[in-house]
Amino acid sequence: MEARMKNPGFAVPGAMEGIQKLVKAIHSTGTDNELLELIALRASQINGCSACVYGHVANLKKAGVGDDRVGNIGAWREAPFYSDAERAALQLAESMTRQADKSSEVVPDEVWDAVTDHFDEGQLSAIILTVALTNMFNRINATIQEPAGQTW
């Protein structure tokens, strides 16, 4: 399988530089990179973005994250491998990603309250921006049919 076209982030002059600045800013908050990869993986699973699922799994494995945590992310509610803080961030990521499935608030107060119990404003901002950026790439990759198998 081959992508329909080059990723628009690379095709539009300056776009990837802007995205890279955003990623650098996200990481400047000191938010745990493993957490950011886990929430990006979960959003990518929900969106069915094989290229991003592949990339986030590869990043997590490269960082030494165990199979239990990587392989059970889709069942995080039932699996014992995640902290309360990670569960709150995963719920926020799912709520943000599943916006179209909602008939009321995208992020209910109980989800917001849980995540703010665990993260300060900088960390929470990094989580929100990571989910938003992941969703953007998921939509790009679905449109251009970017196949799994390459890492970024």
Q: Give the whole-angstrom CA distance, residue 30 versus residue 9.
A: 25
- Residue 22: both structure tokens together: 């955003």
Residue type, 80: P
Specify the pTM.
0.95
7 touches 146 (CB < 8 A): yes
Residue type, 68: D
Residue 42: CA count within 13 A, CB half-sphere = 28
pLDDT at site 101? 82
Domains along the chain with CATH numbers = 9-140 (1.20.1290.10)
Query: Has residue 151 got a pLDDT over 90?
Result: no
Q: Tell me: the pLDDT tens digits for 29-57?
A: 999 999 999 999 999 999 999 999 999 99
Residue type, 106: V
How does the average pLDDT of the chain come out, rounded? 95
Query: Has residue 152 got a pLDDT over 80?
Result: no
Query: Has residue 13 got a pLDDT over 90?
Result: yes
109 touches 93 (CB < 8 A): no
Going from the C-alpha of 150 to that of each of 9, 53, 145, the distances in angstroms are 16, 11, 13
Q: List helix spans (H) across the chain.
A: 8-11, 15-27, 33-47, 50-62, 67-71, 84-97, 109-116, 121-144
pLDDT at site 3? 93
